[in-house]
Amino acid sequence: MSLTLADIVAALGGELYGPGHHPVSRLATLQSATSDDLSFLSNARYQSQLSQTRAACVVLSPSVPLELRQTLSARIETPDPYLYFARLTQMWRAREQSLRAEALRHPTAFVHPEAVVDASARIGPFCVIERGAQVGPQTWLKSHVTVGENCRIGARCILHAGVSIGADGFGFAPHQGQWVKIEQLGAVRLGNDVEIGANSCVDRGALDDTVIEDGVKIDNLVQVGHNVHIGAHSALAGCAGVAGSAHIGRGCTVGGGAVVLGHLNLADGVHISAASVVMCSIHQPGQYSGVFPIDDNASWEKNAATLRQLHRLRERIKALEHTHTSKNPS
Amino acid sequence: MSLTLADIVAALGGELYGPGHHPVSRLATLQSATSDDLSFLSNARYQSQLSQTRAACVVLSPSVPLELRQTLSARIETPDPYLYFARLTQMWRAREQSLRAEALRHPTAFVHPEAVVDASARIGPFCVIERGAQVGPQTWLKSHVTVGENCRIGARCILHAGVSIGADGFGFAPHQGQWVKIEQLGAVRLGNDVEIGANSCVDRGALDDTVIEDGVKIDNLVQVGHNVHIGAHSALAGCAGVAGSAHIGRGCTVGGGAVVLGHLNLADGVHISAASVVMCSIHQPGQYSGVFPIDDNASWEKNAATLRQLHRLRERIKALEHTHTSKNPS
Amino acid sequence: MSLTLADIVAALGGELYGPGHHPVSRLATLQSATSDDLSFLSNARYQSQLSQTRAACVVLSPSVPLELRQTLSARIETPDPYLYFARLTQMWRAREQSLRAEALRHPTAFVHPEAVVDASARIGPFCVIERGAQVGPQTWLKSHVTVGENCRIGARCILHAGVSIGADGFGFAPHQGQWVKIEQLGAVRLGNDVEIGANSCVDRGALDDTVIEDGVKIDNLVQVGHNVHIGAHSALAGCAGVAGSAHIGRGCTVGGGAVVLGHLNLADGVHISAASVVMCSIHQPGQYSGVFPIDDNASWEKNAATLRQLHRLRERIKALEHTHTSKNPS
């Protein structure tokens, strides 16, 4: 598949400097690009790669110094090259897929007769859509996805391999040393343009629904507990976990492996660093972190051992301060 | 589906104050309940919601102040409203399911001819039961569950979507810079009334079996390594991981994202807080924690940097104390 | 199935002391072995079990004290008993499987007509091999495995239940408070002899491929992000996560639940302890750790609270030192 630079600028805009008729057959990084490839620069850190790249054309910002831009045989200038690159990847993918005509519903998928799947939704191999579930237009369920009873998926969502929507939330009443199951009678509602990564799970609510609003992006192996609410356009990276009834605002990000405990509130615009644990509600937007710094093992052992006496160390400092003050009154 | 308050009390007990003939059609939280709904109060923190709720009837404890109880048009009093609520959800679910007659074994499931599946077990779409595996009465495997060779599942278990029982434990002998596989010749044994959440994994043992005793509840995306033993009625929350040959006692809880290292012992009644890492055996029951406190990013950076010098700080405190003592002999 | 001790030594070497005609029917630990079983001792810690074991024969090192070795009715001496044990488990498994003749490709598997699967590969129930994917000789995909478009799996690999190879990497360009998808146009390449545990995920690259070299072993529920590169014979334990574009060297190990952030480099021979978080590149081989030590909950609370003031404590120590020095000039 190839496109000319002129085709690309006609479709996506930007200012082309160089031969419009030049065909490009692939998108590539500056380092790996060959003379048939289109590349991009979105991070000033990699500017030095411009002089070495063999790319046929580079998408970049007009803010890159002119002497660097002029080393290129062709370039497309646009104020947000990363966004332009995203659109380019979509253009590539769309052309690739238009060359194929595939059944939208894979013959091996199981769709319950009482489920409602939009005619434009694409249901991959071995997917399971249970009774009363709904799947919106242009949504794509890849392989081995389960959409449980009465769960609703909006339009243009992508659910990757092995995603589980609507497993039972983890709810039990303790009784005489045993656990009595609380049947989970709620469901899951996903808005539009939600993407969920491979083998991630969103549990059904106990009574009310678990809700994921429009445009939320969830990576692989993420756990979303029952009755969680995630505000629009938030993003959760891989291996994150959100416990039951947590409420995450709009435009939040949760880093990889981070944990949000149950029944907490995160305001809009809260950003949790990777592997941090949120143990109380956060009311102000901003970046929050909490990770033990990694070190060579011997140093860590000494510091970790001391950490277990930290409170007592503080008392010793207090005592020193007190002694000093009482003996040296100023 | 609706039930009268009298039906409910006849089935589950409790003392009804109000019109027994009143029908309720749904269970709901105090906040979202409408006048057709039954609600409950199990946590004193939410008592103030009693005066606002529109619920037809509320299940609560006789220990709630009488003036609050009397604001309700109907109520059911019971000493443990949370347990009562659990039983109510089960009643609801059971009635819902009795209205349907479904094949217990989904036509798409694959059951090896040498597996033994009880006639009352329910096997969902695309499940795989391998050679020599056993599944007990009334156990329910949802979709995409794998029960590996020779693994045994007890009675009344629930295995959610994507659960893997009996994948190979992670065992290799190092040899000249490479890994030589140790074939895992054991299996997995699950007791009765075990529930395992979506996409969780329980590995088969190397020689002996991995064992999960009666009544254990495991949430989503939990990893249980080979030869682990989990005592009866313990519970593991989402994203927890238990490494090989760890032995967890009875009635323990492991919080979400917590990690238990291999070959350790946890006594009965040990409770591990979310995201904590157990690095040595714990012999006394109680609550154990170990999480770096989250903070705004700038504060965290300063504290984390200092933490890397903590042992040296302790030496400096010692030096100060020593100087002080030697110069100020008392 | 049984083998004589002479058969075993003929196949695997080692020096046999005892009756070669003795049959053994099972491999077992020293503790659980009966008189039909073969056992092994690879860790000096368990030497004391030698006198109690009922095993028919024990595989051990000639470095075990002679008086302990001589308590056994039969033994096989070999310099690396753990490696010998690994080979024994393989011998057992191989004999077990040779008794069966099973179709290599399960009838329920879906293999795209444009995928290339070697005739000796074994494809389990409900696996999905998408267009353009390649699966090498003697590779075994267990149940519910997905190999995405154009992904390539080498020879003699094992992919356990629910593994996802080639889901989209997590890539979005932010634009006006929303996320614009970056289509992931790369693929995944797995070398030879790679093993990947149940429900683990390896994402496809954005432009270039995600690469896992020969002999890498990955446990269950591990996330490998897009454009990650893992060097030969490295091993990642359960629940670990490696973020996009990280580069892990050869012969590394990553402990259970550990997280490696994106765009970092780990040199060859780097070992990350369980649950540690790698936040910057590591250039020297060695063992690295970073975990908050677990403690009883009350002690942890006090130490964690103090930790949030650690930087200020350091300032107070500095002040004490300064005061002391300035008032006690030596």
Size of interface B-C (CB pairs under 8 A): 215
Angle at A326 between CA A321 and CA A328, to 5 degrees: 90
Domain assignment present for residue B105? The answer is no
Q: Report how far residue B190's alpha carbon sits from residue B203's, in angstroms, rounded to the nearest whole number.
A: 12
B256 and B233 fall within a common domain: yes
Contact between residue A184 and residue A162 where contact means Cβ atoms under 8 Å apart: no
B1 touching chain A per CB within 8 A: no
- Which residues in chain B have Cβ-Cβ distances shorter than 8 Å to C274? 243, 259, 261, 277
Q: Could C28 and B208 be called an inter-chain contact, meaning their C-beta atoms sit closer than 8 Å?
A: yes
Calpha distance B60→B71 (Å, rounded): 13
Query: For B4-47, how does the pLDDT look when each residue is reduced to its tens digit (9 = 90+)?
Result: 999 999 999 999 999 999 999 999 999 999 999 999 999 988 99
Q: Give every CB contact of residue B148 below 8 A, 6+ residues apart in sequence.
A: B130, B133, B164, B165, B166, B167, B187, B188, B204, C161
The verdict on residue B165 lying in a domain is yes
At a CB cut-off of 8 Å and minimum separation 6, what does C167 contact? A142, A160, A161, A197, A198, A220, C146, C148, C201, C203, C204
Max Cα-Cα span within chain C:
88
Cβ contact, residue pair B292, A313, below 8 Å = no
- The verdict on residue B69 lying in a domain is yes
Please answer yes or no on whether B199 and A203 come within 8 Å at the CB atom.
no
- Asked if residue C155 and residue C93 are part of one domain, the reply reads no
For residue B55, which residues of chain A lie inside 8 Å, CB to CB? none
Neighbouring C-beta atoms of residue C82, cutoff 10 Å = 21
Identify the domain boundary among B72, B98, B124: B98
The answer to whether residues A172 and A270 belong to one domain is yes
**Residue B98 confidence (pLDDT) above 80:** no
Q: Which of C:61-80 have CB within 8 Å of B?
A: 80
Spatial separation of the C-alpha atoms in residues B74 and B69, rounded to whole Å: 9
Q: How far is B88 from chain A (nearest CA, A)?
A: 8
**Separation of alpha carbons B248 and B228, rounded Å:** 8
Please tell me the least confidently modeled range out of B48-52, C102-106, C126-130, C166-170.
Answer: C102-106
Task: Give pLDDT, residue A324.
Answer: 72
Q: For residues A296 and A304, what is the distance between their CA atoms, to the nearest angstrom?
A: 12
Q: Residue B1: pLDDT above 70? A: no
Q: Do A206 and B89 touch (CB under 8 A)?
A: yes
Q: What is the pLDDT of residue C103?
A: 75
Does residue C179 sit at the B interface (CB-CB below 8 Å)?
no
Verify whether residue C226 is a known catalytic residue: yes
Nearest CB among B220, B274, B321 relative to A316 is that of B321
Residue B270 pLDDT greater than 60, yes or no: yes
Mean pLDDT of B285-289: 98
Q: B26: which 2 tokens?
A: 């749904």
Name the H helices within chain B. Answer: 5-12, 66-69, 81-98, 297-307, 310-327
- Does residue A120 sit in the same domain as residue A259? yes
CA dihedral angle for residue B151, residue B157, residue B161, residue B163, rounded to 10 degrees: -30
Shared domain for C39 and C141, answered yes or no, is: no
Residue with the bigger pLDDT between C94 and B127: it is B127
* Same-domain check for residues C158 and C271: yes
Residue numbers in chain A where pLDDT is lower than 70: 1, 98-101, 327-330
* pLDDT at C96 exceeding the cut of 80: no
The whole-number average pLDDT for the span C25-41 is 93
Q: Is C275 among the domain residues?
A: yes
Average confidence score pLDDT of chain C: 94
C215 and C320 in a single domain? The answer is no
Q: Give the 3-state secondary structure of residue A301.
A: helix
CB spacing of B223 vs C238 below 8 angstroms:
yes
Residues 6 or more apart whose Cβ sits within 8 Å of residue C329: none
Return phi, psi of residue C141, to 5°.
-100, 120
pLDDT at A261: 98
Q: How far is A262 from chain C (nearest CA, A)?
A: 18
pLDDT, one tens digit per residue, over A213-262 is 999 999 999 999 999 999 999 999 999 999 999 999 999 999 999 999 99
Give the pLDDT of residue B44. Answer: 87
pLDDT at residue number B328:
60
Instruction: Considering only CA atoms, give the Rg of chain B.
Output: 26
Domain boundary among A73, A98, A123: A98
Indicate the residue among B98, B124, B149 that finishes a domain. B98
CB pair distance less than 8 Å for A143 and C128: yes
pLDDT band at C288 (very low <50, low <70, confident <90, very high): very high
- Tell me, yes or no, whether C121 and C238 share the same domain: yes
Instruction: Name the domain count of chain C.
Output: 3
User: Is C266 part of any domain?
Assistant: yes
> Would you name the residues of A annotated as active-site residues?
226
Bigger pLDDT: A46 or C162? C162
User: Within this chain, do residues A246 and A126 fall inside the same structural domain, yes or no?
Assistant: yes
Q: What is the CATH number of the domain that holds B87?
A: 3.40.1390.10
C241: nearest CA partner in chain A: A239
Domain residues for A150?
A: 110-288
Structure tokens at B280: 């040595």
A161 found inside a domain: yes
Residue C103 lies in a domain: no
Chain B, 288 to 307: residues with Cβ < 8 Å from chain C are 288-293, 295, 299, 302-303, 305-307
Query: Which comes out higher in pLDDT, residue C295 or B98?
Result: C295
Query: pLDDT (tens digit, 9 = 90+) per residue, B162-183?
Result: 999 999 999 999 999 999 999 9
State whether C185 and C266 are in the same domain. yes
Enter the tokens of residue C172: 């979005």
Q: Looking at the structure, tell me whether residues B124 and B256 fall in a common domain.
A: yes
Indicate whether C157 and C270 sit together in one domain: yes
Q: Do A181 and B86 touch (CB under 8 A)?
A: yes
Question: Among the residues of C28-130, which ranges form H helices?
Answer: 66-69, 81-98
Domain contains C265:
yes
Choose among B321, C310, C183, B290: nearest CA to A97. Answer: C183
* d(CA B33, nearest CA chain A) in Å: 10
- Give the chains touching B; criterion: ≥3 Cβ pairs < 8 Å: A, C
Determine the average pLDDT of the residues in B236-247: 98
